[in-house]
Amino acid sequence: MIFPDIIELLLLGVYDRGIPNQERIVLKVQERLNTAQYGVLLSISDLNSTAARPIWDNCFNFTEHIVDPGMILFIYTGPGSERRTTIAGTQIPAHVFHWGKKLTVFASTLITPIIFKVESIIVAPVPINRTQLNE
Amino acid sequence: MDEHVPIESASDGTQVKEETINPEIVRVDQRGSVIATAPIEDVIKEWSLENPRALGGGLAARILAAATQHVHNQLRDMSCRIDNANLTIDRLKTESAVKDVTIAVQKEQIVSLSRGKYSRLAMASFSTVLFGFAIDFFRNNMIGYGLSFIVMAVVLGIGTVLSAPRRDAK
């Protein structure tokens, strides 16, 4: 299926592929947005550079932050803590996220990230009239 | 400047390198459907060629594709114009800032010139008076006084001339 581009985020690329604790996806914010609406899927490149097959059960969701144009978002694939910082040698604001994967994931250049945007959702109601597992 | 490195990564350093591609990741049966991104005008053009019925028939599909392409071209054109206009605005802002500095410098020069004008006039008048006294001293055979007054008048006159603003001063 073909989807429209996300114009409010610019994918600058995947850097230091296969290098533990440095492997990261870098995005640039083009418009003021709430990061909770976006996420990243791991996928395998297919057909051409703008098409890919998402890999099941490999999804990263951003935590909620309002970010302004010009900010750089870093998604490190390894574990770590979230932090607001700046780009080295500049005053450009940046926000660092961590996926928490124990192993590097982009060693193969066939594996590529898909940035997605959540447009609508359904949240299942809590089945209050049934026995819960933790009871 | 490296735009791709934050000052602090806040990584905890426990990640290890994946030596081989994780078979769980590349299993064919775990791959989802192909998804892709493409500009809307390309998608409509493609549909109008491959499946015109989905867009209301051959003619309607062509008109839709052409209209979309036209709007896309106009948007791109407008986007270029806005970029150019923004560049022009930036250039004009810079030029305006330079002019502001020049104006401030020239204002300061004008103030200092108007202050100096009165002192120069006073010096010239005093020089003329001294010159008049010197002539009287010469007439009365008081050569020594006359010469000293002449020297003072000349020094004041030269000082007045030298302190006058020059035309080429910026």
pLDDT at B23 over 70: no
Confidence (pLDDT) at B99: 95
Sorted by where each begins, the domain ranges of chain B are: 18-163
Contact B4 A114 (CB under 8 A): no
More confident residue, B94 or B1: B94
Domain contains A37: yes
Contact A105 B31 (CB under 8 A): no
Domain contains A38: yes
Nearest to A42 by CA among B73, B15, B149, B30: B30
Domain contains A62: yes
Domain of residue A84 covers 9-117
Q: Strands A2-3, B35-37: parallel, antiparallel or unpaired by DSSP?
A: parallel
Domain contains A125: no
Give the minimum alpha-carbon distance from B155 to chain A in angstroms, rounded to a whole number.
60
CA atoms within 13 A on the CB side of A117: 12
DSSP state of A87: B
Confidence (pLDDT) at B21: 63
A36 at B interface, C-beta within 8 A: no
- pTM for the predicted model, two decimal places: 0.57
Confidence (pLDDT) at B28: 53
Q: How confident is the model at residue A113 (pLDDT cuts 50, 70, 90)?
A: very high
B-contacting residues of A 85-124, CB under 8 Å? 85-90, 92, 94, 96, 98, 101-105, 107-108, 110-111, 114
pLDDT at B170 over 70: no
B7 neighbourhood in chain A, CB within 8 Å: 85-88, 94
Domain contains A39: yes
3-state helix, strand, coil in chain A (%, to 5): 0, 50, 50
Distances, alpha carbon A105 to alpha carbons A22, A32, A48, A72, B27, in Å = 11, 29, 20, 21, 14
Domain contains A124: no
A46 neighbourhood in chain B, CB within 8 Å: 34
A127 at B interface, C-beta within 8 A: no
Contact B15 A79 (CB under 8 A): yes
B68 neighbourhood in chain A, CB within 8 Å: none
Give the minimum alpha-carbon distance from A126 to chain B in angstroms, rounded to a whole number.
29
pLDDT at B30 over 60: no
Q: pLDDT per residue over B61-104, tens digit each?
A: 888 888 888 888 888 888 889 888 988 998 999 999 999 999 99
Task: Give yes or no for a contact between A122 and B37, defined as CB atoms under 8 angstroms apart.
Answer: no
Domain contains A128: no
Count how many domains chain A has: 1
